[in-house]
Amino acid sequence: MWGSGILKGLGITFKHLWERKITEQYPEERPKLYPRFRGRLMLNPEKCIVCGMCVKSCPNNVLSFTEARLKESKKKVLTSYTIDHQYCMFCNLCVEACPTNGLYFSHDFEWAAFKREDIKTVYEPDLTGLELLALEEGEKKSAEKEAEDKLLKGVNAMIAAIKKNPARALSKVVESEEEALKLSEILGDDESKIKKLAELMVSDKEKAAKVAKAFLIKGQKKEQEG
């Protein structure tokens, strides 16, 4: 009271006036970094086994990579690995997820750049001398082929089913069994029509139902005329 508090405060500031200063003279004086300091996220490409755990664990889509297979051993290898640091939250989740400790935080904290693209780090491991399968392309082709094969198999099975038990097979596209029987009569032995309907039944059921209905109406008209 009566100014004693003010005087105490003045005493404290006066004391600090002569004390050692706590300013860290940054560019000359380097900050003390602790072992766990999270600076720039780095990858040791040699350790990478291309498992993709880091990409799955990242909350902010910082990481992405491309891969290929070796021609002989069919082993996966890394072709490029991109770390887009501008989205990184330094949360350590990818480092924890990495099974081989290939990802780590360095102590590098000075990474000002003039362009956004410069913040990105792209690793392109040296793959000369290794024969690679063009993995992505090859896989895509085989996948397409597989799907085609699957479709063909399904269609053949469906055609067989229609021929064998038309009531049961066709009741999937029409409303009742009677209609199914009628449809089978209309279709008769017309292979091309059966094949078309079977294809549709495998790939697109709704369209198949529509086509079946159209066949029915056509058949009814023919009956009435005949």
Partner 1 sequence: MLETDFITINVGPQHPSTHGGLHAETVLDGEHIVDLKVHLGYVHRSVEKIAESRTYTQFIPYNSRLDYLATHLPTMGYCQAVEKLLGISLPERAEYIRVIMAELSRIASHMLFIGSLAIDIGATTGLIYCFRDRERIMDMFEMTSGQRLISSYMRIGGFNEDLPEEFYPAVKSFLDDLPYMLDEYNNLLTGNEILQARLKNTGILSAEDAIAYGVSGPNLRASGVAYDIRKAEPYGIYDRFAFDIPVGQKGDNMDRFVVRIREIEESARIIRQALKDMPEGEIKAKVPRVIKPEKGKEVYHRIESSKGELGFYIVSDGGEKPYRLHVRAPSFINLGVLPLISRGGKLQDLIANIATLDPVLGEADR
Partner 2 sequence: MKGAETFFVDLARAIVNGLENMGMSALGAEIILLIIKFACIAGIVTVNIIILIWLERKISGFIQLRLGPNRLGPWGVFQTIADAIKLLTKEDIIPSQTDKIIFRTAPIVFIIISLMLYVVLPFGDGMAIVDLNLGVLYFISVGSLGTIALLMAGWGSNNKWSLLGAMRSVAQMISYEIPLVFSLLAVVMIAGSLNMSDIVNAQDKIWFVFLQPVAFITYFIAATAELNRGPFDMPEAEQELTAGAYTEYSGMRWALFFLAEYTNLFAVSALTAIMFFGGFKGPFLPSWLWLPIKAYIIMLVFFWLKWTLPRIRMDHLMAFSWKVLIPVTLANLVVTGCVLHFLK
Residue 123 touches which of partner 2, partner 1, none (Cβ within 5-8 Å per kind): none
Please pick, from the candidates 44, 47, 66, 96, the single residue that binds partner 1 as defined by CB under 8 A.
96
Nearer to partner 2, 22 or 112 (CB): 22
Judge whether 170 and 180 are in contact, CB under 8 Å. Answer: yes
User: Is residue 17 within the footprint of partner 1 (CB under 8 A)?
Assistant: no
The footprint of partner 1 on residues 47-66 (CB under 8 A) is 57-59
Judge whether 80 and 123 are in contact, CB under 8 Å. Answer: yes
The whole-angstrom separation of Cα 15 and Cα 7 is 12
**Least distance to partner 2 from the beta carbon of 33, Å?**
22
User: Is residue 20 within the footprint of partner 1 (CB under 8 A)?
Assistant: no
Nearer to partner 2, 9 or 59 (CB): 9
Q: Is the dihedral of CA 95, 96, 101, 102 positive or negative?
A: negative
Is 149 assigned to a binding site?
no
User: Is residue 90 within the footprint of partner 1 (CB under 8 A)?
Assistant: yes
Is 16 assigned to a binding site?
no
Return the half-sphere exposure (C-beta side, CA atoms, 13 A cut-off) of residue 190.
13
Is 90 assigned to a binding site?
no
**Identity (one letter) of the amino acid at 150?**
K
Q: How far is CA 33 from CA 3, 98, 105, 190, in A?
A: 44, 24, 12, 81
Residue 21 touches which of partner 2, partner 1, none (Cβ within 5-8 Å per kind): partner 2
Is 30 assigned to a binding site?
no
CA 226 to chain centre: 59
Stretch that binds partner 1, among 88-96, 162-170, 176-184, 214-222 (CB under 8 A): 88-96
- Write out the DSSP string of 126-175: --TT--EE-HHHHHHHHHHHHHHHHHHHHHHHHHHHHHH-HHHHHTTTSS
Is 221 assigned to a binding site?
no
The footprint of partner 1 on residues 176-205 (CB under 8 A) is none
Binding residues for [4Fe-4S] cluster: 48, 51, 54, 58, 88, 91, 94, 98
Binding site for partner 1 (CB under 8 A): 1-6, 8-9, 11-13, 16, 22, 33-38, 57-59, 89-93, 96, 105
